[in-house]
Each structure stands twice: as C-alpha cells, then as structure tokens.
Chain A
Amino acid sequence: MDPDWFALKGLGDVLGGSGASRLQNSLVKTAGVATTATVGVEASAGPNLLIVQVLVAPGKDPAQAERMVYEEIDRVARDGVPKEEVERVETDYLRKRTFALVTTAARAQVFDEFLTIYGGLEAVNGWEKRVRRIGGDDLKRVARKYLTAANRTVMIVNPEGKP
C-alpha cells in the first residue's frame, strides 16, 4: 500500500465521506444542484481509484455540478484543510474501523483485508497511528499530485442515454 493512500482516503472523506463533507455542503445543501455527492477511495493492493459520484438534481445543469466538484478539489489543492476538519475525518474513520470489529466475521474480514493489502497483520495495530499522522498539508499535497485534470476520467450518464 502506497503511503499516500492514507492521505487520499482522508481527502476523499473531506470531500464526500459523510453528510458533513464539502461536496455535500456545497452541491447538495447550499446550491441544490445535486441530490447526492459522495467520494470513495478503493483499497486494494494494486492501483486504486478515487471516485467522485454526483447525482444531479432534476432540471439542474450537470456542467455546473461538475464545475463545483473541481472548485472544491482546487480549494483543497490551494488552501489545504484546517486541522479541525482533518481531525473530524480521522475520528470518523476511527469510528468506522471500530464498528467494523464488532462481530467475529467482521474481524476476520479486517484481518483478511490487512493480509491482502499490507501483506501482514502487524499493520492492524499500527493503522490508527498512520491515520493520525495525516495533516492538512498532506491532503493538499495529494490533491495536487493525483487529482489533476490530466489524471481524471469523467463519465456523464443521463436517463436518455445521450452523451
């Protein structure tokens, strides 16, 4: 697993990991151009995708929604992320991880995930430290490094099936 993965995961959560995320606030709550706006980061041993998914509201312009996504990405790349927002994302990540340890089956899945991705179980105990080590500048750095126009594929699907 590339060390940047943790920062990218944090970046994904800042942008669209919960109801308090930036895309949710700007596209859904404030501008009303979308009904949902989420971000997921794949977690595999190979190259991973960061996927932004926006469901454009009826009658709204997909181009506007797309532009607003880029604005939020650019804002992170330009200004970084304040400490309290990073802490919020880290806490949320910690919550999800802890809840994933509740049942025996879920624990087995976590161990399986660590064996597959990290090649060993030692990382299970070191994982929280790695998450806590992320700072706002890390998110800024990976936003600049990976979320570039050249590195981006955009797909627009509309109900009529016309491009």
Chain B
Amino acid sequence: MTRRELLAMAASGAFAAEHLNRAPFSHENLTVKLPEAEPVKLSNGVTLLAIEDSRLPIALVRFHVEDAGAIYSPRPGVAECTAEMLTEGGGGRSGKQIADEAARLGATLTSAAPAAAEAAAVEASGLISHFSEWLDLTTAVVLDPSFPADEFSTLKQRWRVRGRLRLTQPANLTYDALQRLIYGSHPAAVVFPSAESIATLTPEMLAQWHRERYTPAKTTVLCIGRVRTSSFVSRMENLLGGWKADEAHPSPPPPPQPASARRIALIDRPGAAQTELAIGGLLMERRDPDYIAMAVLNGVLGGTVSSRLVRILRDEKGYAFNPGSTYSAYRFPGVWRVNAAVRTDATADSIAIVLEQLRRLCDEPIPADELDRAKSNAVGVFALGLKQPSQAINQSYLRNRYGFSADYWERYPAKVNSVSAAEIQAVAQKYLAVSRAQIVAVGDAARIRPALDKLGKVEA
C-alpha cells in the first residue's frame, strides 16, 4: 500500500476507526533461545555459570553468596555492613587502593546485601582489556576482606546520613511501614537497619559473619561478556580452588504468615500536598506455580502504562502522576504492592479506586482483550530484558537457584500465554483479598484521617 493510499484511508476514517488505540500483536508464542550457562562445580563446592557474549568488549562478574543476606543477619545491619565493607579493604589493599585499582583497570566494583536479600552479592563489570586483573581484584575482596576499623567508622557515619535522608522521602516511609505490616516478625520487615543498630556493631562481628557465611559451597559466580567460558573456569579454579571454609547450614527464618485482617497505618506529614499511599499483602514463593499468573495479573492491575490503576488514577482522574503496582517472590513469600502519590484532597477516592480494582480482580474474570495485552506486555518485557547481559546471566542464576528445568526460560513465553482469566482470578482471590490488604498512608493526617477511619482502625 502506498503512502498516498494510506493517507486516503486515514482521511476516510476507516483507518482510524479500525486501528486507533489498537496496537497489533501476535498470539503466537515468542520463541526464545537463551545462551546456555551450564553450571560448573569446583571441587570445593563453588558453582560457576558463564555465558559468552561477544557483542561488546565488556564483561560482568557477580558473586552470589547464599545465606549471607540480610534476612539471615544475626542482628540488624551485620549482613548489610559486611557486604558493604568488602570493597573498603581487602587482599592487602586499602579501600582507596581498591577504588584506584578498579578505576585504573576500567572496572567498577560494588557489594551489597540489601533488605529482604537472602544472598550477599559482589559485582564487578568493566572492559575486557584488563579482565583478568579486575577479576583477581574482585576475588580478593570476596575472599580476604580486612574490615578496617577507620573505614567502618566512616561507613557508620554514612549510614546515619543515608538513614536520615531516606526518611525525608514519603515513598520510603510507606515502603518501610508496609513491609512491617506485611512481614511482622520476619526479618524482611526491616528495610533499613537503624543507625543505633549499626552503631553497636564492631569490625570483629563483621569478620566473624564473613568467616561463617562466605563459604565456597554457598557461592555462585556468574560471568557474561567477551570472555571464553573455558578460560573463565580455568581462572576461577586457580583463584578459588584453594578456598576452604567450614560450611554453615543455617535454617531460614520461619516463613511469614499471611495477615488475617486489614491493618491501616497513618504517618503524619502536616501540610503535605500529597498523600503517599501503599497498599499490599503477602504473596507466594518464587517456585509457586501461581507466580506466572501473578506476573500477568500485575500487568493488568498497575504494572504497565495501560493498566487499570494508571488509566484511572492518572489518565481519567488526574490524581497521581505515576501510580503502579509491583510484585516479588523469593525462597520465602514475596509481596504485592500498589503505590501512588495522590493529591491530598483525592486520598479517599484514590484508596476507594484501588480497593475497587482489587475487588474486581477477585470477583470478575479479566476480559479477553485486556488479558491478551497484559500477556503480550509480560512476554515483551521479558524478551527485551534479555538484551541486557546482566539480565541474561541472571536468568541462568535464577534457573540454577530455584532448580527450574533446563528449558524454563525457553518455555516462559508459552507459560505466560497459557494463563487463563480463571487462573488469574483464583490468584487474586488467594492473595489480593480487599479485606486483608494492608494500607499505609503518609500525608496530612488532619485532612486524610477521616477517610482512613472509615476503612477500619487506624494505627498512627
């Protein structure tokens, strides 16, 4: 069809009537063939996963140390600080020398054990021109950290400032409060250990935690980039083969229990122009078959620009600029969460809209065209993500970590496309019941409390 014909068609209205707001999409399953990352086990138990990706002269290496994450921390902050201190001194180098060397080698080096994490992670990425050197440096900080007292003192100071800064953001207040409501006594309830907790820690505590938890059998090393798998494995055998440590076998914390009733928390910000809302609840573990249906459900609820919450709260009502929903799942149950920063005078209506959309998901099957769009989006986002090397290797890591089948990711698009409206409705009824949704509001209490009082007892 020529451009002239297209214009004529559009002018006649036929084109517009037929295609306006209707992006074409295929019902055929996307075929994905992921590069193989066959696990290699070293004799001491270290697992290696590597993918060759020669598109650019770069590489990424990540150490995951299971059971060294925040949810296993013997006291708040130990796991977090241990991970963060790895790059502040180790392998006979000071923190400054590590930073200088990484910069000279064209690499970045980060380490963290964030909230709700089961594993600590150390990641390095950089140009392959100095790959073996920055791989040596990364391995040295993982195996041989020195936890210098002066650097730890500086970290405590940074932690104090970071804590104060993050509490100036209403979104962080809602996040912290919602995690507490959902997780209760489970360690994932602690998002950011307090400065008081951190102040009681010593370098010796971190060193002990490192000795006990950073062990070969709990370590998986990922590599993706312009690096031959055989040479990576050989190098890691040299660097890690002699690593010996007593293996700990910690029990995970008792699983969090789903709420039996709704709780409502209100944090006062007198004079606030907006109310930061967070509504959520407990979900399933990552291996649960419900997870795939939840991925599609989230796209319908608030996970895409055409989702119900975005359409209503932003496009139709103009209450919020960036409402949305997210979900998570780990070896322990994750959470679903709706977030929206809404105009103060629209707080009551916004909460009602969110709860109404939760109710609809529980009570009504999703219409076919809406379901198709959500599936198409879930598959498309998955496929696009694979262009990112860190995500491609992460899929291999997740497959290995959760014991998924070898073709799990190849079959993922088909699994998403096979989810039915009835399955999503069942998942909504199981996890998103309005009566058990936890609600947090950060805003001007004098103006928004009456609306919250109507929903139940408010904890201020």
A interface with B by C-beta (< 8 Å): 18-20, 24-25, 28-29, 32, 35-36, 55, 57-58, 84, 87-89, 91-92, 94-95, 98-99, 101-104
| Interface residues of B, dominant DSSP | helix
Across-interface contacts of B160 in A (CB, < 8 A): 58
Q: Known contacts being A20-B100, A57-B157, is A92 close to B388, with CB within 8 Å?
A: no
- Give Cα A87–Cα B158 distance, bound, in whole angstroms: 30
Closest 3 CB pairs of A and B: A19-B99, A20-B99, A20-B103
> A104: which of B99, B107, B387 is its contact (CB, 8 Å)?
B387
The residue in chain B whose Cβ has the minimal distance to the Cβ of A28 is B154
- Cα–Cα, bound, A32→B95 (Å): 14
Contacts of B104 in A (CB 8 A): 84, 87-88, 91
Complex CA gap A101/B55 in Å reads 10
Q: Are B106 and A99 in contact (CB under 8 A)?
A: no
Question: Which of B58, B96, B162, B389 makes the CB contact (< 8 A) with A29?
Answer: B96
Q: Is the CB of B103 within 8 A of A32?
A: no
> What separation, in Å, do the CA atoms of A92 and B125 have in the docked complex?
11
Q: List 24 A-B contacts (CB under 8 A).
A: A18-B99, A18-B103, A18-B108, A19-B99, A25-B96, A29-B95, A29-B96, A32-B157, A35-B158, A35-B161, A84-B104, A88-B103, A89-B103, A91-B106, A91-B127, A95-B106, A95-B108, A95-B127, A98-B127, A99-B125, A102-B56, A102-B58, A102-B388, A102-B389
Among A18, A24, A32, A91, chain B packs the most CB atoms within 10 A around the CB of: A91
Q: For chain B, residues 64 to 116, give those with C-beta under 8 angstroms from any C-beta of chain A.
A: 95-96, 99-100, 102-108
Q: How far is the CB of B102 from chain A (nearest CB, A)?
A: 7
A99 partner residues in chain B, CB cutoff 8 A: 56, 58, 125
Cα(A19)–Cα(B97), bound, Å:
10
Please encode chain B, from 348 to 379, with 1 for each CB lying within 8 Å of some chain A CB and 0 for all others: 00000000000000000000000000000000
Contacts of A94 in B (CB 8 A): 106, 127
A92 to B157, CA, bound (A): 28
Which one of A29, A91, A95, A102 lies within 8 Å of B387 (CB-CB)?
Answer: A102
**B252 located at the interface, meaning its Cβ lies under 8 Å from any Cβ of chain A in the complex:** no
Asked if B56 and A92 sit within 8 Å, CB to CB, the answer is no
**Number of B positions contacting A (CB below 8 A):** 29
Question: Which residues of A lie under 8 Å from residue B450 when comparing CB positions?
Answer: none
- Looking at the assembled complex, report how far the CB atom of B169 sits from the nearest CB atom of chain A, in whole angstroms: 14
135-172 of chain B: CB within 8 A of chain A: 154, 157-158, 160-162, 165
Given A18-B99, A58-B160, A102-B387, does the pair A92, B58 have CB atoms closer than 8 Å? no
| B58 partner residues in chain A, CB cutoff 8 A | 95, 98-99, 102
Bound complex: CA of A28 vs CA of B161, how far in Å?
Answer: 13
- In the complex, A104→B55 CA distance in Å? 12
CB distance from A9 to the nearest CB of B (A): 15
Q: Which residues of A contact B380 (CB under 8 A)?
A: none
Structural contact, B56 and A101, CB atoms closer than 8 A: yes
Residues of A within 8 A of B56 (CB): 98-99, 101-102
CB of B93, distance to nearest CB on chain A (Å):
12
CB-CB under 8 A from A98, the residues of chain B are 56-58, 127
Q: Report the bound CA distance from A95 to B158 in whole Å.
A: 27
Shortest Cβ distance from residue A31 to the other chain B in the assembled complex, whole angstroms: 10
> A100 to chain B: closest CB distance in Å?
10
Of B95, B126, B154, B165, the contact of A95 (CB 8 Å cutoff): B126
- Chain B positions within 8 Å of A18 at CB level: 99, 103, 108
Select from chain A the residue with minimum beta-carbon distance to B127.
A95
Q: How far is the CB of B86 from chain A (nearest CB, A)?
A: 13
Q: Measured between alpha carbons, how far is A49 from B125 in the docked complex, in Å?
A: 29
CA distance A20 to B125 in the complex (A): 16
Cβ–Cβ < 8 Å partners of A95 in chain B: 58, 106-108, 126-127
Q: Which residues of A contact B165 (CB under 8 A)?
A: 55
Q: What separation, in Å, do the CA atoms of A20 and B109 have in the docked complex?
A: 11
**Most A C-beta atoms less than 10 A away, residue of B103, B126, B158:** B103
- In the assembly, what is the distance between CA of A55 and CA of B384, in Å? 37
Partner of A58 from B55, B96, B157 at Cβ < 8 Å: B157
User: What residues of chain A lie closer than 8 Å to B125, measured between beta carbons?
Assistant: 99
Tell me, in angstroms, the Cα distance from A88 to B58 when the chains sit together.
17
7 further A-B pairs in the complex, CB-CB below 8 A; given A20-B102, A35-B157, A35-B161: A18-B99, A57-B161, A58-B157, A88-B100, A95-B58, A95-B106, A98-B57
